[in-house]
Amino acid sequence: MLDGLQEILFTLRQNKLRTLLTAFGVFWGIFMLILMLGAGKGMQNGVYDGFGGEVMDFIIIFTGTTSVAHNGMGLGRYIQLTNEDIQAIKQKIPNVRFISGENQTGGATITYEKKLGNFAVVGIPDDYFKIKASIPFNLGRKLNPFDQQENRKICELGTAVVEKIFGKDVNPVGKEVRINGVVMTIVGVFHDKGNRGRDSERVYIPETTYQKIFGNGNKVQTLWLRPVEGTDGFELEKKVIDLLQRKHTVSPEDKRAIRSFNMAEPAKMVNGLFMGINFIIWFVGMGTLAAGIVGISNIMIITVKERTREIGIRKALGATPRSIVGTLLMESILVTSIAGYAGMVLGVGLLELVAFGLRKSGAKLDFFQNPEVDFQVAITAIILLVVVGALAGLVPALKAARIMPIEAMRAD
């Protein structure tokens, strides 16, 4: 085995320039494939982060006025959701992982000492952040069940609210503000992970507290749901809509009275887009890699032709076709493996360097974050290299194995 390896290395050293040029084709192919896959992953990470983080399966239910008469009920009737609707969904529809109501007023006055501003105040139950789990908290805590049960006068402010009321680099947790004249204690500060500014301009308070302050009773403006993992979100959405239509005497043909938005729809489109992008990346990358493999195959054919006399002598001395094929295949696999591995390592290293540079500089690119290559992809690339290396040398090796010793020794 060691003698065979030394022989292969000796042969490669005899033709250094040819070996280097051949290996460069494979190196460049795998290097570009890794770079393109990493760049594609960076784009995907950036787009998903723009959606607001890891939660891509929530469903929003909201209402309007009826547009179709149904069971004696006329047109123009406003459909009002209530806490009873939430309980009905929990009891009658399985596979609902989380459900939460949301109430919002857009022009509440927030005051602290002599500073004030108008911001959206949102009343939420404690499990609201289990649905919108991607909202990160900078300071303090999230609402808990006791805040809801005891109607506590507490609030959580978005970073945009804090900057306007308190100024930058101020920790307002524990301080008191007035919301429409009611004193509330600040328990947390959050920001908008999606960088759209919308969430950071909000103030969250317990749902029960909201309903008392704004006289909302048990009314709910919007429902947020998340299905159990593995559940068809579109089927669950239909079941919830059907239940609410029956409960509020709304025609199944009425598309305006009870409406919904399923995050799975844009997520499906985005996933489809990146599947297409990854297909193109693999197609282009494999084309580049194939050019290098063809180069190796051609070089191996030339090598066999140059070593025809040597191969004939070996066969005359008792070398088997299997040993000759094995030697040539090993030569091909060695070149492709070393060149490909070097290309993969350099490609991954460059991606890590780019990611490190972005983190170190604090640069924030909306649609490009953390370029990386999956471990499985790297393993696949290594296996691919071994396979294509063997295929590249297979035809020339089989040709060499069929050479007759007498004819080989007569060759020039």
Residue entry with tokens 């929003």: 60
Counting every residue, how long is the chain? Answer: 412
Angle between helix 321-361 and 308-316 (nearest 10): 130
Strand 137-140 relative to strand 176-179, pairing = unpaired
| In the predicted structure, residue 398 carries a pLDDT above the cut 80 | no
Residue 243: its pLDDT value, please?
94
Q: CB within 8 A of 254, min separation 6: which ones?
A: 66, 67, 68, 70, 245
Mean pLDDT within 232-244:
90
Of 205, 210, 138, the residue nearest 169 (C-alpha): 138
Residue-wise pLDDT for 33-84, tens only, equals 888 888 888 877 777 666 655 456 788 999 989 988 888 788 888 999 998 9
Q: Are 61 and 223 in contact (CB under 8 A)?
A: yes
pLDDT band at 255 (very low <50, low <70, confident <90, very high): confident
Average pLDDT, the chain: 79
The values of phi and psi at residue 371, to 5°, are -60, 130
Percent of the chain with pLDDT over 90: 14
Mean pLDDT within 307-330:
69
pLDDT band at 304 (very low <50, low <70, confident <90, very high): low
Q: Which amino acid is at 137?
A: F
pTM above 0.85, yes or no: no
